[in-house]
A = this chain, B = another copy of it.
Amino acid sequence: MAHELPRAPLAPERFPNLLPVAGVELATAATNSRYKGRDDLLLMVFAEGTAVAGVFTRSKAPSAAVDWCRAALAATGGANPRALVVNAGNANAFTGKAGRTTVETVAAAVAARLGCAPEAVFQASTGVIGNPLDPAIITNELDGLLSRLSATEWAAAANAIRTTDTFPKGACRIAHIDGYPVVINGIAKGSGMIAPDMATMLAFVATNAAIPAAVLQQILAKAVDRSFNCITVDGDTSTSDTVQIFATHRAGHAPVTDAADPRLADFRAKLYAACLELATLVVKDGEGAQKFITINVAGARSFEDARTLGLAIGNSPLVKTAIAGADANWGRIVMAVGKAGPLIDPNKLSVAFGGTVICRNGLRVEGYDETPVAEHLQGRNIVIDVNVGVGDASATVYTCDLTHGYISINGDYRS
């Protein structure tokens, strides 16, 4: 049986205050399967007229739930989702026909109770890969869940979708569309097997905004690209990675039907902020993480190049262990950008740790004093600035250090 890990040192002090979202109710339950004594099942129910969009793992061996959601989105065009079911502890991935039967059984059971089509029931599963998932452990809980639905149980929801996460992750923003306040609530889980694409294993956003599915999809994809796709813990990509947004259309404003509509500017910014907050919380709960690392790459030819360079730094075990050891080993940054692929100019390269420039134009600065750098590296929040000297584009990537804790957690996760 899995044991609970101590709360990560980078965890925020408390779960944020998530507001009710008109048209969204939720409840959680304990299936007592993999995790004992805590909730591991989440049901969200959405009002009629909700729209949904989603971004999923690029894994070529996706989970049964990911396959199901992709098909459901295609079949419905994202119109009128009525429920989301999430279980933690079993990923229902690499489970073949039995896995497909499980998601079909769950969808049918929820649909029968809500009086909707099975394709209106979205699902996600996270946990161990390759074990059969008995649909009964979910369907047995449905009546209880439906009897306990509430608009306020967001913290419980964030708690129930955790696997090795040591703290629940949530974010809330208020945007304005046409002067109407719009709530954006997000919850996420993920701490290992975290890398683009997708970064977090699961994140769900609910809003009362009136935005149709096609527009939601465009806005979500862009927000994910600069948030969840800019983080890495260990370079591994899960079979289950999912980000979905549900928009209940209850905010009161007229629906916005064009992604380029300027009335969406604030919503777009706040959705990005919420996604970024969730993504960085995932990094802060990175398995074994003791330090949060922000890598700003500038001077690249494109955002994609800059992100690739940042991820090469953020995925380098040598960089991550050096920072764990508070070692100002900037040579490993040079190594990482050198191997990454995108064009750089070694003779224009500059590297700074915590704002202290260590090298400029490809050379260690004259009279470089390591003291402020060493001091910075003793802290919890590490900032690395790199300029690769070939262009104007930049990107920011977030990661954590690689510590003994990572080895301990992953050397004994399943057994």
Contact = CB atoms under 8 A, between A and B. Distances in A.
A413 to B, nearest CB: 7
A94 interface: yes
Given A236-B317, A336-B236, A411 B362 contact: no
Contacts of A95: 363
Interface in A365-415: 402-404, 406-408, 410-415
A234 B131 CA distance: 29
B325 A234 contact: no
A322 B414 contact: yes
Given A93-B331, A235-B235, A331-B130, A317 B61 contact: no
A198 B88 CA distance: 41
Nearest to A288: B407
Interface stretch (A70-78, A269-277, A338-346): A338-346
Interface string A272-302: 0000000000000000000000000000000
Contacts of A93: 331, 334
A49 interface: no
Given A60-B338, A60-B344, A60-B346, A130 B318 contact: no
Contacts of A128: 331
- Size bin of chain A's contact surface: 35 or more
A59 interface: yes
Given A61-B335, A318-B192, A324 B411 contact: yes
A29 to B, nearest CB: 25
A362 B315 CA distance: 29
Contact of A130 (B193, B340, B359, B406): B359
Interface in A91-109: 91, 93-96, 98
Interface of A: 57-62, 91, 93-96, 98, 128-131, 192-193, 234-239, 315-318, 321-322, 324-325, 327, 329-332, 334-340, 343-344, 346-347, 349, 359, 361-364, 402-404, 406-408, 410-415
